[in-house]
């Protein structure tokens, strides 16, 4: 297990939990977890990067997530507020240093939003199973649902029509989708389970996202910055799993939109390649960081 230090940093009045490995290394990488509403626990494989190359890796729980405190008001549950939080973390811990920013899932959306405003502070951008358009991503997830067995599809449609998102039959069908497109492992790693526990305990997911991954009714439901991707000029790595719920089609849209970008597809992964193909995933990130320097 990679050694890391834990701490808290105050950003915009919110007490944010973080963990950092490889302190003092010349390059800095901040990792943004998904959800919205998860925690940094499931990104723990990223800490291993600090042992393989000269990079300091910092992961943190975003506002209202994990061990971090809630924001001042419910009006803060927006991507715009989250962007300012990322910048606040960078300033508080790294002052004027440029960083690598890695965002996974919703964290990839957040990383794109940050780059559109603060790319002057970036060495490089890594969008891992991330998205530039929520509507497109939902459309793609609906396509994946249509490819599920007919019984599963009918159960999902039945309970969504009545709004019974907590019915046991519905939850079982959603779990079938997750086992195919979220995490394709026989057992859930403990760090992933910890994140799922936090996600269910806290309010962020229901406010910003909705009842599940493919029924997005929260504050991010209309978020779409695809038309602005060309504004991102920093070197960018885009990764996606072949069976990802945030599909390769979504990743290709980002790749086409960002001029200086590279796309890597992990053929044996769904949404969590850092666990499903850990070595290939970490080596891909390492190669990118080393190349950009």
The token duo for 268 is 């044996």
State the residue for tokens 């209202």.
Answer: 64
Kindly name the residue from 50, 181, 244, 255 that is annotated as catalytic: 244
Residue 255 falls in the annotated catalytic set: no
- Counting every residue written for the chain, the total comes to 293
Contacts of 227-231 with CB under 8 Å at 24 or more apart are 228/116, 229/112, 229/132, 229/254, 229/257, 229/258, 230/257, 230/258, 230/259, 231/116, 231/119
Rounded distance between C-alpha atoms, residue 180 and residue 169, angstroms: 17
| Torsion on CA atoms 106, 109, 113, 114, rounded to nearest 10 | 60
Phi and psi torsions of 244, nearest 5°: -65, 140
- Is residue 105 annotated as part of the catalytic site, yes or no? yes
User: Which one of 105, 132, 261, 270 is the catalytic residue?
Assistant: 105
For residues 48 and 282, the answer to whether their CB atoms sit within 8 Å is yes
Tell me, yes or no, if 271 is annotated catalytic. Answer: yes
Q: Would you state the structure tokens that stand for residue 104, as one six-digit string?
A: 């996974």
Residues 104, 181, 255, 271: which is the catalytic one? 271
261-267 contact pairs (CB < 8 A, 24+) = 261/235, 261/236, 261/237, 262/236, 262/237, 262/238, 262/288, 263/238, 263/239, 264/237, 264/238, 264/239, 264/240, 265/239, 265/240, 265/241, 266/239, 266/240, 266/241, 266/242, 267/242
**Residues with active-site annotation:** 105, 244, 271
């Amino acid at each position: 297990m990679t050694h890391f230090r834990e701490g808290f940093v105050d950003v915009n009045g919110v007490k944010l939990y973080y963990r950092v490995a490889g302190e003092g290394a010349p390059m800095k990488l901040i990792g943004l977890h998904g959800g919205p509403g998860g925690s940094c626990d499931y990104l723990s494989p990223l800490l291993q990067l600090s042992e393989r190359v000269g990079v300091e890796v910092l992961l943190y729980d975003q506002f209202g997530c994990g061990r971090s405190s809630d924001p001042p008001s419910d009006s803060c549950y927006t991507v715009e507020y989250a962007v300012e939080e990322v910048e606040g973390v960078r300033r508080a811990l790294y002052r004027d240093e440029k960083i690598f920013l890695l965002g996974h899932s919703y964290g990839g959306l957040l990383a794109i939003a940050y780059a559109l405003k603060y790319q002057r502070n970036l060495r490089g951008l890594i969008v891992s199973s991330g998205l530039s358009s929520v509507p497109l991503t939902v459309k793609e997830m609906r396509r994946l649902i249509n490819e599920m067995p007919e019984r599963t599809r009918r159960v999902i449609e039945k309970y969504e029509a009545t709004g019974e998102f907590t019915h046991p039959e519905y939850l079982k069908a959603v779990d079938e989708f997750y086992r195919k497109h979220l995490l394709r492992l026989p057992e859930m790693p403990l760090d992933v389970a910890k994140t799922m526990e936090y996600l269910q305990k806290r309010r962020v997911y229901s406010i910003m996202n909705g009842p599940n991954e493919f029924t997005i009714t929260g504050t991010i439901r209309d978020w779409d910055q695809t038309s602005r991707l060309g504004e991102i000029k920093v070197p960018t790595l885009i990764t996606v799993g072949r069976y990802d719920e945030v599909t390769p089609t979504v990743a290709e849209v980002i790749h086409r939109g960002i001029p200086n970008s590279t796309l890597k597809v992990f053929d044996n992964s769904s949404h969590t390649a850092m666990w499903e193909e850990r070595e290939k995933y970490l080596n891909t990130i390492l190669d990118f960081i080393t190349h950009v320097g």
